[in-house]
Amino acid sequence: MGSQGQADNFFEGAGFDWESYIVHRPAPTPEFYQLIYDHHRAHGGEFNLAHDIGTGPGNIAEQIGKTFKHVHASEPSAYHTSVAEHRLKAIDPHKYTTQQCRGEDISSEAAGHKEGSVDLITVAQCIPLMNVPQAISGFAHLLKPATGTLAIWFYGRPCFADPAQHKSQQIINAIISKAWDRVRPMKGTGFEPAKTMLCAFLDNVAFPPEQWQHVRRLKWNADKPMMFLENDDVDFEIRWESAVGEGEVEERYLDRGFWAVEADVAWMRGFVDYALPWENKDEEKRGFDGLFGELEQAMGGKGVRQRVTWPVALLLATRK
């Protein structure tokens, strides 16, 4: 989850409920992780050391630890790092280590990691807020030559799987747009290149061929927008950019059951609260009550659950 600058401030502070953050998020399935591991194994990868970049509360590192002998989790925020350390040490104090460090700086001398020592690097839900060329180069430095795997992924706006829920979709889109009012204006901030990347489904992340091979770009439900906002909701020009290189494999899947959540309106409200958390201001939350009331009615009433799915992009690449 971890990111930098303006975005970090949303999740700071001892009052932030990280367990609720995890509950109100789509969770990658075992099949998703297996897809990554199969790619890794197919190119000779070992399962000794994994490094989870931007680990947030360590929920991805926790899952990777079920397969890898050791997992190192890094995070730019000191507070997030302390949360991850607390959670992961409670699971297994020997399997997990943590470090406060920006993803772009993880290969620096100060970070203290040996070149070519890592089997797998995961970068979940944070690449759009990084200096991407610097980060990709640093990841190549850390991974084992010829066998090390990089896995980057991001999920976008929640989408109701049932086409009959079009009114619910309109309402949740309006709620998310209103939630983003807290960070406007976005032009000239780190959100501008981030949202440009999401519009491209991460296709503007480049893998220099002198460093990378076996590049795969997988997309699920790419007929739905990955950017959380409509184009008209941002104060800058949306550009579509592509850095897809020759020989890279592109795979598209339409799967309305992918990472599906059976969600009622309470879950949807939790998702919005923890996607852009409030500052414990009741008056700010009350400003959304009307919209969530409309959403509850559109979804079929209190406690009624509807299937919610996600547009997801996964980038896989092997160190050359």
CA 138/CA 121 separation, integer angstroms: 11
CA 21/CA 23 separation, integer angstroms: 6
Each residue's pLDDT expressed in tens, for the chain with a length of 320 residues: 444 444 445 555 556 788 888 899 999 999 999 999 999 999 999 999 999 999 999 999 999 999 999 999 999 989 889 999 999 999 999 999 999 999 999 888 778 889 999 999 999 999 998 999 999 999 999 999 999 999 999 999 999 999 999 999 999 999 988 887 777 666 766 677 777 888 899 999 999 999 999 999 999 999 998 887 776 766 667 777 899 999 999 999 999 999 999 999 999 999 998 876 555 456 666 778 999 999 999 999 999 999 999 999 999 999 99
Residues 6+ apart with CB under 8 A from 48: 68, 69, 70, 119
pTM: 0.92
- pLDDT at 8 (0 to 100): 46
- pLDDT at 140 (0 to 100): 97
- pLDDT at 4 (0 to 100): 44
- pLDDT at 259 (0 to 100): 96
Residues 6+ apart with CB under 8 A from 319: 140, 143, 144, 145, 146, 147, 148, 149, 150, 211, 212, 213
